[in-house]
Structure 1
Amino acid sequence: AVIAEHVRMLHKAYDLVFTSGGIGPTHDDMTIDGIALAFGRKLEHNESIAARIERAAGKAPNASQLKMAQVPAGATLIDAGDLWFPLVVVENVFIFPGIPELLRKKFESARDRFRGIPFVIKRVYVTRMESEIAQHLHDLLAEFPELHLGSYPRIQEESFRVMLTLESRDAGYVQRALDSLLGRLPDGAVRRVE
Protein backbone atom coordinates (compact mmCIF):
# COMPACT_ATOMS: atom_id res chain seq x y z
CA ALA A 1 0.00 0.00 0.00
CA VAL A 2 2.93 2.35 0.69
CA ILE A 3 4.36 1.84 -2.80
CA ALA A 4 0.91 2.38 -4.34
CA GLU A 5 0.39 5.59 -2.37
CA HIS A 6 3.74 7.05 -3.44
CA VAL A 7 3.38 5.99 -7.07
CA ARG A 8 -0.12 7.49 -7.25
CA MET A 9 1.15 10.80 -5.86
CA LEU A 10 4.28 10.95 -8.06
CA HIS A 11 2.40 9.84 -11.19
CA LYS A 12 0.15 12.90 -10.89
CA ALA A 13 2.93 15.34 -10.00
CA TYR A 14 5.58 14.46 -12.61
CA ASP A 15 5.83 13.76 -16.33
CA LEU A 16 8.02 10.69 -15.81
CA VAL A 17 8.41 8.46 -12.76
CA PHE A 18 11.19 5.88 -12.42
CA THR A 19 11.09 3.09 -9.87
CA SER A 20 14.11 0.96 -9.06
CA GLY A 21 14.08 -2.51 -7.55
CA GLY A 22 11.50 -4.81 -6.10
CA ILE A 23 10.70 -6.65 -9.34
CA GLY A 24 12.46 -9.96 -8.74
CA PRO A 25 11.22 -13.43 -7.73
CA THR A 26 11.32 -13.18 -3.93
CA HIS A 27 8.68 -12.41 -1.30
CA ASP A 28 9.97 -8.87 -0.74
CA ASP A 29 9.77 -7.90 -4.42
CA MET A 30 6.56 -5.89 -4.22
CA THR A 31 6.99 -3.02 -6.67
CA ILE A 32 4.92 -4.54 -9.50
CA ASP A 33 2.07 -5.29 -7.06
CA GLY A 34 2.23 -1.75 -5.67
CA ILE A 35 2.15 -0.16 -9.11
CA ALA A 36 -0.81 -2.32 -10.16
CA LEU A 37 -2.62 -1.22 -6.99
CA ALA A 38 -1.75 2.44 -7.62
CA PHE A 39 -3.49 2.33 -11.00
CA GLY A 40 -6.33 0.02 -9.94
CA ARG A 41 -5.17 -2.69 -12.33
CA LYS A 42 -5.03 -6.45 -11.94
CA LEU A 43 -1.81 -8.36 -12.38
CA GLU A 44 -1.71 -10.41 -15.56
CA HIS A 45 0.53 -13.29 -16.56
CA ASN A 46 2.54 -12.18 -19.59
CA GLU A 47 3.32 -15.14 -21.82
CA SER A 48 6.05 -13.25 -23.70
CA ILE A 49 7.95 -12.57 -20.48
CA ALA A 50 7.41 -16.17 -19.31
CA ALA A 51 8.92 -17.41 -22.58
CA ARG A 52 11.89 -15.09 -22.13
CA ILE A 53 12.40 -16.40 -18.59
CA GLU A 54 12.34 -19.97 -19.91
CA ARG A 55 14.90 -19.15 -22.62
CA ALA A 56 17.18 -17.42 -20.10
CA ALA A 57 16.90 -20.28 -17.58
CA GLY A 58 17.16 -23.02 -20.19
CA LYS A 59 14.22 -24.87 -18.63
CA ALA A 60 10.61 -24.39 -17.61
CA PRO A 61 10.39 -21.60 -15.02
CA ASN A 62 9.40 -22.39 -11.45
CA ALA A 63 6.69 -20.51 -9.55
CA SER A 64 9.13 -17.93 -8.16
CA GLN A 65 10.50 -17.19 -11.61
CA LEU A 66 6.99 -16.92 -13.04
CA LYS A 67 6.30 -14.17 -10.50
CA MET A 68 8.50 -12.00 -12.74
CA ALA A 69 6.07 -12.61 -15.64
CA GLN A 70 3.27 -10.81 -13.76
CA VAL A 71 2.65 -7.25 -14.99
CA PRO A 72 -0.14 -4.73 -14.40
CA ALA A 73 -2.93 -5.08 -16.97
CA GLY A 74 -2.33 -2.83 -19.96
CA ALA A 75 1.38 -2.33 -19.23
CA THR A 76 3.67 -1.49 -22.13
CA LEU A 77 6.76 -3.65 -22.62
CA ILE A 78 9.86 -2.03 -24.11
CA ASP A 79 12.56 -4.29 -25.46
CA ALA A 80 15.71 -3.70 -23.44
CA GLY A 81 18.34 -4.47 -26.04
CA ASP A 82 20.41 -7.51 -25.14
CA LEU A 83 18.67 -8.06 -21.79
CA TRP A 84 16.18 -10.90 -21.61
CA PHE A 85 13.67 -8.96 -19.51
CA PRO A 86 11.80 -5.99 -21.05
CA LEU A 87 11.28 -2.62 -19.40
CA VAL A 88 7.73 -2.50 -18.03
CA VAL A 89 5.88 0.82 -18.25
CA VAL A 90 2.50 1.72 -16.78
CA GLU A 91 1.33 5.12 -18.04
CA ASN A 92 4.23 7.42 -17.09
CA VAL A 93 5.85 5.01 -14.57
CA PHE A 94 8.95 3.18 -15.79
CA ILE A 95 9.75 0.11 -13.70
CA PHE A 96 13.51 -0.48 -13.55
CA PRO A 97 15.46 -3.26 -11.83
CA GLY A 98 17.41 -2.44 -8.68
CA ILE A 99 20.70 -3.97 -9.83
CA PRO A 100 22.72 -0.93 -10.96
CA GLU A 101 24.22 -2.53 -14.09
CA LEU A 102 20.81 -3.72 -15.28
CA LEU A 103 19.17 -0.39 -14.46
CA ARG A 104 21.80 1.43 -16.52
CA LYS A 105 21.40 -0.92 -19.50
CA LYS A 106 17.62 -0.65 -19.44
CA PHE A 107 17.76 3.12 -19.11
CA GLU A 108 20.17 3.39 -22.05
CA SER A 109 17.96 1.17 -24.20
CA ALA A 110 14.95 3.44 -23.57
CA ARG A 111 16.52 6.86 -23.08
CA ASP A 112 15.21 8.30 -26.35
CA ARG A 113 11.73 8.05 -24.83
CA PHE A 114 12.79 10.44 -22.05
CA ARG A 115 13.91 13.25 -24.30
CA GLY A 116 11.76 16.30 -24.04
CA ILE A 117 12.09 20.01 -24.14
CA PRO A 118 15.52 20.76 -22.67
CA PHE A 119 16.04 23.15 -19.80
CA VAL A 120 17.48 26.55 -20.64
CA ILE A 121 20.01 27.75 -18.10
CA LYS A 122 21.65 31.11 -17.53
CA ARG A 123 24.50 31.60 -15.08
CA VAL A 124 25.12 34.93 -13.40
CA TYR A 125 28.42 35.47 -11.57
CA VAL A 126 27.95 38.02 -8.79
CA THR A 127 30.68 39.89 -6.90
CA ARG A 128 28.55 40.48 -3.78
CA MET A 129 28.02 38.16 -0.81
CA GLU A 130 24.95 35.94 -0.92
CA SER A 131 23.50 37.71 2.12
CA GLU A 132 23.70 41.03 0.25
CA ILE A 133 21.61 39.77 -2.68
CA ALA A 134 19.24 37.39 -0.87
CA GLN A 135 16.30 39.81 -0.86
CA HIS A 136 16.71 40.40 -4.60
CA LEU A 137 16.49 36.62 -5.11
CA HIS A 138 13.33 36.37 -2.99
CA ASP A 139 11.77 39.21 -4.97
CA LEU A 140 12.76 37.57 -8.26
CA LEU A 141 11.06 34.31 -7.26
CA ALA A 142 7.94 36.20 -6.23
CA GLU A 143 7.81 37.66 -9.75
CA PHE A 144 8.83 34.41 -11.50
CA PRO A 145 7.47 31.56 -9.34
CA GLU A 146 8.12 28.86 -11.99
CA LEU A 147 11.82 29.72 -12.19
CA HIS A 148 14.36 27.23 -10.87
CA LEU A 149 16.80 29.56 -9.12
CA GLY A 150 20.03 28.30 -7.62
CA SER A 151 22.45 30.30 -5.48
CA TYR A 152 25.93 28.89 -4.99
CA PRO A 153 28.43 30.83 -2.83
CA ARG A 154 32.06 30.51 -3.88
CA ILE A 155 34.47 31.33 -1.09
CA GLN A 156 37.69 30.46 -2.94
CA GLU A 157 36.91 32.38 -6.14
CA GLU A 158 38.61 35.73 -6.54
CA SER A 159 36.54 37.15 -9.40
CA PHE A 160 33.06 36.45 -7.96
CA ARG A 161 31.35 35.47 -4.70
CA VAL A 162 28.13 33.79 -5.86
CA MET A 163 27.10 31.89 -8.97
CA LEU A 164 23.37 32.11 -9.66
CA THR A 165 21.57 29.74 -12.01
CA LEU A 166 18.23 30.54 -13.64
CA GLU A 167 16.52 27.54 -15.25
CA SER A 168 13.29 26.82 -17.09
CA ARG A 169 12.09 24.92 -20.16
CA ASP A 170 10.85 28.28 -21.51
CA ALA A 171 13.73 30.32 -22.96
CA GLY A 172 11.65 33.51 -22.98
CA TYR A 173 10.77 33.05 -19.31
CA VAL A 174 14.45 32.63 -18.39
CA GLN A 175 15.38 35.73 -20.39
CA ARG A 176 12.66 37.84 -18.74
CA ALA A 177 13.77 36.60 -15.31
CA LEU A 178 17.41 37.34 -16.17
CA ASP A 179 16.55 40.86 -17.32
CA SER A 180 14.60 41.42 -14.11
CA LEU A 181 17.45 40.10 -11.97
CA LEU A 182 20.04 42.26 -13.71
CA GLY A 183 17.82 45.29 -13.13
CA ARG A 184 17.57 44.48 -9.41
CA LEU A 185 21.23 43.87 -8.60
CA PRO A 186 23.43 46.82 -7.58
CA ASP A 187 25.64 48.45 -10.21
CA GLY A 188 28.89 46.55 -10.67
CA ALA A 189 27.58 43.45 -8.87
CA VAL A 190 27.59 41.25 -11.98
CA ARG A 191 30.96 39.96 -13.17
CA ARG A 192 29.57 38.05 -16.17
CA VAL A 193 26.55 36.19 -17.55
CA GLU A 194 26.74 32.89 -19.44
Structure 2
Amino acid sequence: MSTAAILVIGNEILSAKVQDENGPFLARELRALGVELRRIETMPDEVPLIVDALRRCLSQAQWVFTSGGVGPTHDDVTIAAVSQAFGRAVVLDERTLQLLRAHFGEPLKPALRRLAEVPEGSRVEFHEGYLFPVISLENVVILPGVPPLLREGFLRIRDRFRVAPIHSKALYFTIGEGALAEHLDATVARFPAVAIGSYPRFDTADHRVKVTFDARDQAQVRAACEFLKARLPAQVIVREE
Protein backbone atom coordinates (compact mmCIF):
# COMPACT_ATOMS: atom_id res chain seq x y z
CA MET A 1 0.00 0.00 0.00
CA SER A 2 1.30 3.43 -0.95
CA THR A 3 0.47 6.40 1.29
CA ALA A 4 0.91 10.14 1.00
CA ALA A 5 0.54 13.41 2.87
CA ILE A 6 0.04 16.89 1.47
CA LEU A 7 1.56 19.98 3.08
CA VAL A 8 0.03 23.23 1.80
CA ILE A 9 2.21 26.21 2.72
CA GLY A 10 1.20 29.84 2.68
CA ASN A 11 -0.11 32.64 4.88
CA GLU A 12 -2.46 33.54 2.05
CA ILE A 13 -4.31 30.23 2.48
CA LEU A 14 -4.65 30.55 6.25
CA SER A 15 -5.84 34.15 5.99
CA ALA A 16 -8.38 33.24 3.28
CA LYS A 17 -6.83 35.71 0.84
CA VAL A 18 -6.43 32.81 -1.58
CA GLN A 19 -8.53 29.66 -1.77
CA ASP A 20 -6.47 26.49 -1.87
CA GLU A 21 -6.82 24.60 -5.14
CA ASN A 22 -3.72 22.46 -4.82
CA GLY A 23 -4.71 20.25 -1.90
CA PRO A 24 -7.95 19.08 -3.56
CA PHE A 25 -6.19 18.61 -6.91
CA LEU A 26 -3.44 16.46 -5.41
CA ALA A 27 -5.97 14.50 -3.34
CA ARG A 28 -7.97 13.61 -6.46
CA GLU A 29 -4.87 12.73 -8.47
CA LEU A 30 -3.36 10.55 -5.75
CA ARG A 31 -6.65 8.74 -5.27
CA ALA A 32 -6.82 8.01 -8.99
CA LEU A 33 -3.29 6.60 -8.79
CA GLY A 34 -4.23 4.24 -5.95
CA VAL A 35 -2.29 6.22 -3.33
CA GLU A 36 -3.97 6.47 0.08
CA LEU A 37 -3.91 10.02 1.42
CA ARG A 38 -3.25 10.00 5.18
CA ARG A 39 -3.31 13.70 6.00
CA ILE A 40 -3.40 17.26 4.67
CA GLU A 41 -1.89 20.10 6.66
CA THR A 42 -1.85 23.83 5.96
CA MET A 43 1.01 25.79 7.49
CA PRO A 44 2.10 29.44 7.56
CA ASP A 45 5.32 30.68 5.97
CA GLU A 46 7.37 29.90 9.08
CA VAL A 47 10.31 27.52 8.88
CA PRO A 48 10.03 25.92 12.36
CA LEU A 49 6.34 25.13 11.89
CA ILE A 50 6.91 23.73 8.40
CA VAL A 51 9.75 21.55 9.69
CA ASP A 52 7.51 20.15 12.44
CA ALA A 53 4.72 19.49 9.94
CA LEU A 54 7.10 17.77 7.53
CA ARG A 55 8.31 15.45 10.27
CA ARG A 56 4.72 14.60 11.24
CA CYS A 57 3.84 13.88 7.63
CA LEU A 58 6.95 11.79 7.06
CA SER A 59 6.15 9.69 10.13
CA GLN A 60 2.76 8.76 8.69
CA ALA A 61 3.20 8.54 4.92
CA GLN A 62 5.58 7.21 2.31
CA TRP A 63 5.36 10.35 0.18
CA VAL A 64 4.96 14.00 1.12
CA PHE A 65 3.95 16.61 -1.45
CA THR A 66 4.49 20.26 -0.56
CA SER A 67 2.65 23.11 -2.24
CA GLY A 68 3.84 26.71 -2.13
CA GLY A 69 6.68 28.68 -0.62
CA VAL A 70 8.96 28.27 -3.65
CA GLY A 71 10.05 31.53 -5.25
CA PRO A 72 12.25 34.63 -4.99
CA THR A 73 10.56 36.56 -2.16
CA HIS A 74 10.99 36.76 1.61
CA ASP A 75 8.02 34.50 2.33
CA ASP A 76 9.25 31.64 0.12
CA VAL A 77 10.77 29.44 2.80
CA THR A 78 9.90 25.88 1.77
CA ILE A 79 13.37 25.05 0.43
CA ALA A 80 14.94 26.16 3.71
CA ALA A 81 12.39 24.18 5.73
CA VAL A 82 12.83 20.95 3.76
CA SER A 83 16.60 21.32 4.01
CA GLN A 84 16.40 21.79 7.77
CA ALA A 85 14.03 18.84 8.21
CA PHE A 86 16.59 16.55 6.55
CA GLY A 87 19.67 18.21 8.03
CA ARG A 88 20.88 19.35 4.60
CA ALA A 89 22.40 22.59 3.38
CA VAL A 90 20.68 24.86 0.88
CA VAL A 91 22.73 24.87 -2.33
CA LEU A 92 22.45 26.36 -5.81
CA ASP A 93 21.56 24.00 -8.64
CA GLU A 94 23.97 24.76 -11.47
CA ARG A 95 21.69 23.80 -14.34
CA THR A 96 18.90 25.98 -12.98
CA LEU A 97 21.38 28.85 -12.68
CA GLN A 98 22.38 28.39 -16.31
CA LEU A 99 18.77 28.54 -17.43
CA LEU A 100 18.14 31.64 -15.34
CA ARG A 101 21.20 33.35 -16.80
CA ALA A 102 20.09 32.45 -20.31
CA HIS A 103 16.65 33.88 -19.66
CA PHE A 104 17.43 36.97 -17.55
CA GLY A 105 21.04 37.68 -18.48
CA GLU A 106 24.00 38.49 -16.25
CA PRO A 107 24.40 39.52 -13.55
CA LEU A 108 21.49 37.73 -11.89
CA LYS A 109 19.79 39.66 -9.13
CA PRO A 110 20.01 37.96 -5.72
CA ALA A 111 16.25 37.37 -5.74
CA LEU A 112 16.48 35.50 -9.05
CA ARG A 113 19.39 33.40 -7.78
CA ARG A 114 17.06 32.15 -5.05
CA LEU A 115 15.08 30.37 -7.76
CA ALA A 116 18.07 28.03 -8.15
CA GLU A 117 18.18 27.07 -4.46
CA VAL A 118 17.53 23.41 -3.61
CA PRO A 119 18.18 21.17 -0.60
CA GLU A 120 21.57 19.50 -0.93
CA GLY A 121 21.23 16.09 -2.59
CA SER A 122 17.94 16.91 -4.29
CA ARG A 123 16.75 15.38 -7.53
CA VAL A 124 16.13 18.28 -9.92
CA GLU A 125 14.14 17.28 -13.00
CA PHE A 126 13.67 19.39 -16.09
CA HIS A 127 10.84 18.73 -18.53
CA GLU A 128 10.62 20.20 -22.00
CA GLY A 129 8.01 22.91 -22.21
CA TYR A 130 7.74 23.34 -18.43
CA LEU A 131 9.18 26.51 -16.94
CA PHE A 132 10.25 25.15 -13.54
CA PRO A 133 12.14 22.01 -12.49
CA VAL A 134 10.45 19.47 -10.25
CA ILE A 135 12.48 19.16 -7.05
CA SER A 136 12.40 16.17 -4.74
CA LEU A 137 14.48 15.11 -1.76
CA GLU A 138 14.16 11.45 -0.81
CA ASN A 139 10.38 11.03 -0.44
CA VAL A 140 9.41 14.72 -0.38
CA VAL A 141 8.25 16.31 -3.63
CA ILE A 142 8.45 20.12 -3.65
CA LEU A 143 5.88 21.78 -5.91
CA PRO A 144 5.10 25.46 -6.58
CA GLY A 145 2.02 27.07 -5.10
CA VAL A 146 0.65 28.67 -8.27
CA PRO A 147 -2.07 26.16 -9.26
CA PRO A 148 -1.35 25.92 -13.01
CA LEU A 149 2.36 25.40 -12.30
CA LEU A 150 1.70 22.80 -9.62
CA ARG A 151 -0.70 20.90 -11.85
CA GLU A 152 1.68 20.90 -14.79
CA GLY A 153 4.63 19.85 -12.66
CA PHE A 154 2.76 17.03 -10.95
CA LEU A 155 1.31 15.69 -14.19
CA ARG A 156 4.86 15.35 -15.54
CA ILE A 157 5.74 12.88 -12.76
CA ARG A 158 2.39 11.40 -11.69
CA ASP A 159 2.79 7.95 -13.22
CA ARG A 160 5.75 7.07 -11.02
CA PHE A 161 3.38 6.98 -8.03
CA ARG A 162 0.82 4.63 -9.58
CA VAL A 163 0.01 1.50 -7.57
CA ALA A 164 -2.85 -1.00 -7.42
CA PRO A 165 -6.15 0.89 -7.70
CA ILE A 166 -8.66 1.57 -4.95
CA HIS A 167 -12.06 0.20 -5.99
CA SER A 168 -15.21 2.03 -4.98
CA LYS A 169 -18.97 1.65 -4.98
CA ALA A 170 -21.73 3.85 -3.59
CA LEU A 171 -25.35 3.44 -2.51
CA TYR A 172 -27.81 6.32 -2.15
CA PHE A 173 -30.65 6.05 0.37
CA THR A 174 -33.92 7.85 1.06
CA ILE A 175 -33.66 7.06 4.78
CA GLY A 176 -31.47 8.85 7.32
CA GLU A 177 -28.39 7.73 9.19
CA GLY A 178 -30.42 6.85 12.27
CA ALA A 179 -32.24 4.14 10.34
CA LEU A 180 -29.06 3.00 8.61
CA ALA A 181 -26.71 2.88 11.59
CA GLU A 182 -27.31 -0.69 12.80
CA HIS A 183 -27.02 -2.02 9.25
CA LEU A 184 -23.82 -0.09 8.66
CA ASP A 185 -22.39 -1.46 11.91
CA ALA A 186 -23.15 -5.00 10.78
CA THR A 187 -21.54 -4.39 7.39
CA VAL A 188 -18.41 -2.87 8.94
CA ALA A 189 -18.08 -5.86 11.28
CA ARG A 190 -18.53 -8.33 8.42
CA PHE A 191 -16.10 -6.60 6.03
CA PRO A 192 -13.24 -5.08 8.08
CA ALA A 193 -11.02 -4.67 4.99
CA VAL A 194 -13.54 -2.36 3.32
CA ALA A 195 -13.58 1.32 4.28
CA ILE A 196 -17.25 2.28 4.61
CA GLY A 197 -18.31 5.92 4.78
CA SER A 198 -21.71 7.48 5.48
CA TYR A 199 -22.45 11.01 4.24
CA PRO A 200 -25.82 12.64 5.04
CA ARG A 201 -27.44 15.51 3.17
CA PHE A 202 -29.95 18.09 4.34
CA ASP A 203 -30.89 19.78 1.09
CA THR A 204 -33.13 19.06 -1.89
CA ALA A 205 -31.03 16.21 -3.30
CA ASP A 206 -32.76 12.97 -4.30
CA HIS A 207 -31.16 11.12 -1.39
CA ARG A 208 -30.60 11.62 2.32
CA VAL A 209 -27.47 9.50 2.77
CA LYS A 210 -24.68 8.35 0.48
CA VAL A 211 -22.78 5.26 1.64
CA THR A 212 -19.42 4.47 0.04
CA PHE A 213 -17.37 1.26 -0.04
CA ASP A 214 -13.62 1.42 -0.77
CA ALA A 215 -10.95 -1.29 -0.89
CA ARG A 216 -8.21 -2.65 -3.12
CA ASP A 217 -10.06 -5.98 -3.32
CA GLN A 218 -12.88 -5.37 -5.80
CA ALA A 219 -14.70 -8.56 -4.81
CA GLN A 220 -14.82 -7.41 -1.18
CA VAL A 221 -16.23 -4.04 -2.22
CA ARG A 222 -19.00 -5.70 -4.19
CA ALA A 223 -19.75 -8.18 -1.41
CA ALA A 224 -20.02 -5.44 1.23
CA CYS A 225 -22.34 -3.44 -0.99
CA GLU A 226 -24.59 -6.45 -1.62
CA PHE A 227 -24.59 -7.35 2.09
CA LEU A 228 -25.92 -3.91 3.04
CA LYS A 229 -28.48 -3.93 0.23
CA ALA A 230 -29.82 -7.29 1.39
CA ARG A 231 -30.53 -5.91 4.86
CA LEU A 232 -32.79 -3.10 3.63
CA PRO A 233 -35.98 -2.77 1.56
CA ALA A 234 -35.24 -2.12 -2.11
CA GLN A 235 -37.48 0.96 -2.13
CA VAL A 236 -35.16 2.91 0.19
CA ILE A 237 -32.28 2.64 -2.30
CA VAL A 238 -32.29 5.50 -4.81
CA ARG A 239 -29.44 4.18 -6.92
CA GLU A 240 -26.13 2.35 -6.95
CA GLU A 241 -22.91 3.58 -8.52
Larger Rg: 1
| Pairwise same-fold verdict (TM > 0.5) | yes
Q: 2:30 is matched with which residue?
A: none
Partner of 1:38: 85
Query: Could you say which residue in structure 2 is the equivalent of 1:63?
Result: 110
CA drift of 1:180 comes to 4.3
Alignment TM-score, normalising by the size of structure 2: 0.68
* C-alpha displacement of 1:66: 1.6
Partner of residue 115, structure 1: 162
- Which among 176, 181, 198 is matched to residue 134 of structure 1? 181
Alpha carbons of 1:190 and 1:109: their partners in 2 closer, same or farther (altered >3 Å)?
same
Distance across 2 between alignment mates of 1:68 and 1:103:
15
TM-score normalised per structure 1: 0.82
Closer, same or farther: CA 138–81 of 1 in aligned 2, 3 Å:
farther
CA contact (8 A) 1:96 1:106 kept: yes
Deviations for 1:29-60, whole angstroms, at most 9, x for unmatched residues?
A: 11011111222222222111111221221333
* Aligned pairs, number: 192
Q: Which moved more, 1:26-35 or 1:73-82?
A: 73-82
In structure 2, the gaps of 5 or more residues are 1-47
Residue 226 of structure 2 corresponds to residue 186 of structure 1: no
Unmatched 5+ stretches in structure 1: none
Q: Displacement of 1:76 after TM fit?
A: 1.2
**What letter matches 2:99 in structure 1?**
R
- Equivalence for 1:147: 194
Name the structure 1 match of 2:24: none
Question: What's the CA shift for 1:168?
Answer: 2.0
Q: 1:96 aligns with which of 121, 125, 143?
A: 143
Report how far residue 151 of structure 1 moved: 2.2
CA distance in 2, matches of 1:58, 1:147: 57
- In 2, Cα distance between equivalents of 1:139 and 1:56: 63
Identity %: 36
RMSD (CA atoms): 2.5
List per-residue Cα deviations over 1:117-151 (Å, max 9, x = no partner): 22200122334322101233244345555533232
